[in-house]
Structure formats: structure tokens, C-alpha cells
Amino acid sequence: MANSGVSLSAAGRGMEDEQEPPLRPQTQIPSRVLFLTICAAGIGGTFQLGYNLSILNAPILHIQEFTNETWWARTGWPLPDHLVLFVWSLIVSLYPLGGLFGALLAGPLAIRLGRKKSLLVNNTLVVAAAILFGFSRRAGSFEMIMLGRLLTGISAGVSMNIQPMYLGESAPKELRGAVAMTSAVFAALGIMMGHVVGLRELLGSPQAWPLLLASCLVPGVLQLTSLPLLPESPRYLLIDRGDTETCLVALQRLRGTADVVAELAELEEERAACQGLRARRPWELFQDGALRRQVMSLVVLGSAMQLCGNDSLYAYASSVFLEAGVPQEKVQYAIIGTGCCELLTAFVSCVIIERVGRRMLLMGGYCLMTCWGSVFTVALCLQSFLPWIPYLAMSCIFAFILSFGIGPAGVTGILATELFDQTARPAAYMVYGALMWTMLFLVGLGFPFILKKLSHFFYVPFLGVCVCGALYTGFFLPETKGKTFLEISKELHRLNFPRRSQGPTWSGPEIIRSTEL
């Protein structure tokens, strides 16, 4: 590893001495290989996360009927309604539980197998889950559905952590935010496609629900056939494995040019900073004072993204659409419209993030969510008094989802990539993933009680979270736009130890301030 670093530095100095490359403006267009890497990682990554999250909405009644029929065939009497509901709740909750396990597995996988190979191995879980889903009705086993949901959850937890890590390490610093934001784009695309495929006209019929659940196999196969042709993360190759030659080839392919001397020098500097350090464990992040602001930002903003009420608003959307006069059979199309809104704003955020910056998108998103959530609460209180108020509430749902998509939905996911160095990044994603899936489970568990107790004021606690998210971002989160990982680490070290950064201390001889008579 040390010899390869010396030869690389010597080669870089030789090329610089031989001919100084002319200055040229940095391009903001990703190369063809980088674009294909984004698509291949996304289609089997966060696309699967959103897709498997939304396809379960269509076959709710069909799966509950299948559960009851299966129990009747086994025992000779029907399953009580409360037990049918209990089995269904297990099927739903096993997905975030699996996501929690997957998030804890993602760090070790990323370190031992690498980013790309971890995504490929992760698809074995999807294949196994698709087989369980596809043959569950023929086998007469609702337990196969439960196990399949657990496997898809584990797969989603792994991919949700490794995909932005892989893409953030593979992108140039000028495009790192935009490339990492594509994780949110593919998640929103997966949610929308899950709703579309679940329509009654497609796979949402009573006979086709096993195929609907097993359709997660398609994006998994697409990733298995495309991702092996694309390069591994150059940072992983150089810093973790010390493979200079493969790193050079991967970097040239991802940039679409052979002139990567300057970026290689940055990678060498980053490797020198990490030299002799082992990969961090999750609990060590909380013990290191040099990571205090990074961990606090990850915990606060990661929690705020899950507790801001976006998923709860989705759950309330159907009743609001019905109140606004949307026919029952058309509500599913309105829900697809909300998914299109989130996809649109995630794409817009991906385009503008390198111009606007991370802090502005986060603050703007949370401020707009606070505004629309407040109007939505007022509209719910007044909807029985004025005939046009339900339409205002419906508009607030779309506006809120647009605000969430343009800020917190995508920017939060890249914090672990940019705020932590190569040795701490896998552990940071483990913490972030475990936090996200735990919060998702708790919100899903507690929302019915919040709705019952607070009624039309159910969104008030979420408003407080949005305000806290905006304030924390404005006062404590540093801007990382256009900076190298090493520059970000130096700035964060200065913020964590402000007294050590006030200036150089005197290291010369002692100053004598008095004289003898």
C-alpha cells in the first residue's frame, strides 16, 4: 500500500514537470459511465426502498382475505378479525424492522466487500423474497409473505446506506451533492411506480397480488446485469484497499478523461490523513470529541426528517381527498399525484443543489413545511364551515410534499457522506440508518394514537420538529458545497475545537517581562 502511494506521487510529479496542463473550467455534466453508475445503483437501491414501501397499499384487503382463508383451510374455522389485523400489522412492521437489521449490516458489508459488491450481494435477498411472494398463495402460507417482507426490509436497509456512500465517493466534488441526491430521486420514483403498478387495471386485482409483491425481482435483475460492468468507488479502492492501479482506471472511467492527476493528488492527501487508522465502530463516533458536531447534525437532522410528519400526511391524504369531493375510486390516482410531486421536487433539488447549497435547501424546505403545515391545520379546523376549505387542505398536502422533496428528503441522506471521513463513514451510515428505521417504526406505531388524541391538531407536534430542523440547520450545519472531503474535515475540526483554531501559539523562548535592579 505504501509503495503504490509513493509511485503514484512520483508519477504525478513527473507528469507535472513534463507539461503543465492548461487551466480549464470544470464541467458540470457527468460522464456517461458516471451516469450509468447512478442508474445501476439507483434501480436496485433506493428505488427498491420506495417501491416495496408503496406496493403494499393496493393488496391490503386481498392479503387479509388470503390470511383468513389460509387459517380456515388449516383449522376449519375463520381467524378472528383482530387476529387478521394483527397478522397484517406484522406484515407491515416487519419491513422497517428488516430495514433496521439491514442498516446495521451495511457498515461491515461496505468495509469487507466494498460498495459495489455489497449492492450486488444484497440482491440475493430480493430474489429470495420474490420467490417467497410468488409461491405464497400456491403454498397456502401467509408466513412466506411475512418472511419476504423481512428480507425486502433488510435489503432496503443495506441499499439505502450503501448507495449514497458509493455514489458520493464516486462523484467529483463539483457534482457530489447532485449525484448523491439521486438516491432521493430513485426513492420517489419507486414510490410512484409502486402506486402505478398497484392499480386495479395492472397488478392490483385480487388474482395478481402475488405477482405484484414479486415484481421487486425486476429492478433487482436489472442491477445484477448492469452494475458488474461499472467501476468500484475510487476512494474505497485507494484508501481502504491501497489498489492504486484499479483506482486510477476507475477514476478515469468515471470522469471520462485520462487527466485525473489533480484529483488523484487529493485522494492521496486524504489517504495520508487516514493512514494507520482503522474503520470506526458506531459507538466510537459518540465518544470522539472531534466528531461531536458531525454526530449531532446526523442525529438531529436524521430524526427531523422522519419526525416532520411527511409520512403521516400521506396516511391522512386519502380522507382529505374524500372530503374534497374526490370519488373513492379516483383517490388512488390522487395519491399517485402526490408521488409525482415528490419525484418532481427531488429532481429539481438534484439540479439546483450545487448552485443553492445544502443549508439553503434544508432551511427552505423546513420553513415551507412549517408554513403549509400550519395552513393545513387551520383548514382541518374550518373544513366543516366553508365549502372550499377541503380544497385548501388538499392543496396544502401537495405543497407540503413539494417542500419536503426539495429539501429534507434528499439533502439529509448525503450528510453522512460529506460530514465524515473515510474511516468513519460506514459507521455513520449505520447510525443514520438505524435511527431512520427506528423513527419510521415509532411514527407508524404512534401516529394512530396522536390522531385520536389531537384530532384536527394532529400535525402540531410535527410543526415543532420542522421549526427545530430549520433552526439547527441555520445555526449549526456548515455548508459543504464544492469542498473536498479533506477541506470539510478541517473546517469541522475547527468548529469542534474553536479554542485551538484562534491562531498559532508562541513556541519561541520565554518572554521576560521584568528586569532586575
Model confidence pLDDT, tens digit, residues 336-378: 887 888 888 888 888 888 888 889 999 999 999 999 989 988 8
CATH of the domain at 425: 1.20.1250.20
Is a pLDDT exceeding 90 seen at residue 471? yes
Mean pLDDT lowest among 128-142, 146-160, 341-355:
341-355
17 confidence band (pLDDT: 50, 70, 90): very low
Q: Are residues 217 and 345 in the same domain?
A: no
Domain boundary pick from 187, 208, 230: 230
Count how many domains the chain has.
Answer: 2
Which amino acid is present at 182? T
| CB distance 240 to 110 below 8 Å | no
Write the pLDDT tens digit of every residue in 475-512: 998 888 888 888 888 888 888 887 765 444 433 444 34
Q: Are residues 314 and 444 in the same domain?
A: yes
- Determine, yes or no, domain membership for 47: yes
Which residue has cell 464544492? Answer: 482
- Determine, yes or no, domain membership for 511: no
Cβ within 8 Å of residue 420, ≥6 positions away: 285, 291, 294, 427, 428
Q: Are residues 210 and 301 in the same domain?
A: no
Q: Are residues 224 and 340 in the same domain?
A: no
Q: Are residues 298 and 217 in the same domain?
A: no
Tell me the three cell numbers of residue 24. Answer: 480549464
Q: Are residues 38 and 163 in the same domain?
A: yes
- Determine, yes or no, domain membership for 493: yes
Other CB atoms within 10 Å distance of the CB of residue 220: 23
- Can you tell me the distance from the alpha carbon of 372 to that of 361, in angstroms, rounded to the nearest whole number? 16
| CB distance 134 to 309 below 8 Å | no
Q: Whole domain around residue 486: which residue ranges?
A: 284-497
- Can you tell me the distance from the alpha carbon of 230 to that of 116, in angstroms, rounded to the nearest whole number? 9
Cβ within 8 Å of residue 251, ≥6 positions away: 234, 260, 263, 264, 267
- Determine, yes or no, domain membership for 15: no
Domain boundary pick from 200, 230, 260: 230
Q: Are residues 291 and 193 in the same domain?
A: no
- Determine, yes or no, domain membership for 17: no
- DSSP codes of every residue in 61-130: HHHHHHHHHHHHHHHSSPPPHHHHHHHHHHHHHHHHHHHHHHHHHHHHHHHHT-HHHHHHHHHHHHHHHH
Domain boundary pick from 184, 214, 230: 230
- Determine, yes or no, domain membership for 237: no
Please, what is the average pLDDT of the chain?
Answer: 83
Other CB atoms within 10 Å distance of the CB of residue 301: 22
DSSP state of 275: T
- Determine, yes or no, domain membership for 240: no
- Determine, yes or no, domain membership for 117: yes
Supply the pLDDT for residue 319: 65
Q: Are residues 346 and 414 in the same domain?
A: yes
Cβ within 8 Å of residue 430, ≥6 positions away: 103, 104, 106, 107, 161, 282
Q: Are residues 212 and 293 in the same domain?
A: no
pTM: 0.81
- Can you tell me the distance from the alpha carbon of 414 to that of 184, in angstroms, rounded to the nearest whole number? 10
Is a pLDDT exceeding 70 seen at residue 304? yes
Mean pLDDT lowest among 173-177, 256-260, 315-319, 482-486:
315-319
Q: Are residues 197 and 291 in the same domain?
A: no
Q: Are residues 187 and 290 in the same domain?
A: no
Q: Are residues 317 and 452 in the same domain?
A: yes
Supply the pLDDT for residue 9: 42
Helix (H, G, I), strand (E, B) or coil at 475: helix
